[in-house]
Amino acid sequence: MKKTTTRLADGRELIYYDLRDGAVRDERDHRPLDPVATASEIRHDRLLGDSVAIASHRQARTYHPPADECPLCPSRDGRLSEIPAPDYDVAVFENRFPSLAGDSGRCEVVCFTPDHDASFADLSEEQAALVLEAWTDRTAELSQLPGVEQVFCFENRGAEIGVTLGHPHGQIYAYPFITPRTERMLTSLAAHREATGGNLFDDTVADELADGRRIVLEGEHWVVFVPYAAHWPYEVHLYPKRRVPDLLALDEAARTEFPQIYLEVLRRFDRIFAGRDGGKEQGASRGARAAGAARTPYIAAWHQAPLRAGRREDFALHLELFTIRRTSGKLKFLAGSESGMNVFINDVPPEAAAERLREVASE
Beta bridge partners of 106: 174
DSSP state letter for 9:
T
Q: Would you give the distance in Å from CA 343 to the centre of its chain?
A: 24
Using alpha carbons, list the distances in angstroms from residue 51 to 42, 45, 48, 98, 324.
Answer: 6, 6, 9, 16, 25
Q: If we measure between CA atoms, which residue out of 17, 185, 6, 186 comes closest to residue 111?
A: 17
Using alpha carbons, list the distances in angstroms from residue 128 to 17, 132, 221.
Answer: 12, 6, 17
Q: Which of 30, 44, 116, 169 is catalytic?
A: 169
Taking the C-alpha atoms of residue 235 and residue 258, their distance in angstroms, rounded to an integer, is: 18
Q: Is the dihedral of CA 204, 267, 347, 179 positive or negative?
A: positive
Question: Is-catalytic flag, 169?
Answer: yes
Which residues 6+ apart lie within 8 Å of 217 measured at CB? 223, 224, 261, 264, 265, 357, 361
Q: What is the DSSP string of 225-280?
A: E--TT-SSSEEEEEEESS--SSGGG--HHHHHHHHHHHHHHHHHHHHTTS-TTSHH
Q: If we measure between CA atoms, which residue out of 346, 321, 350 comes closest to residue 333?
A: 346
Judging by DSSP bridges, how do beta strands 222-225 and 215-218 pair with one another? Answer: antiparallel
The catalytic site residues sit at 169
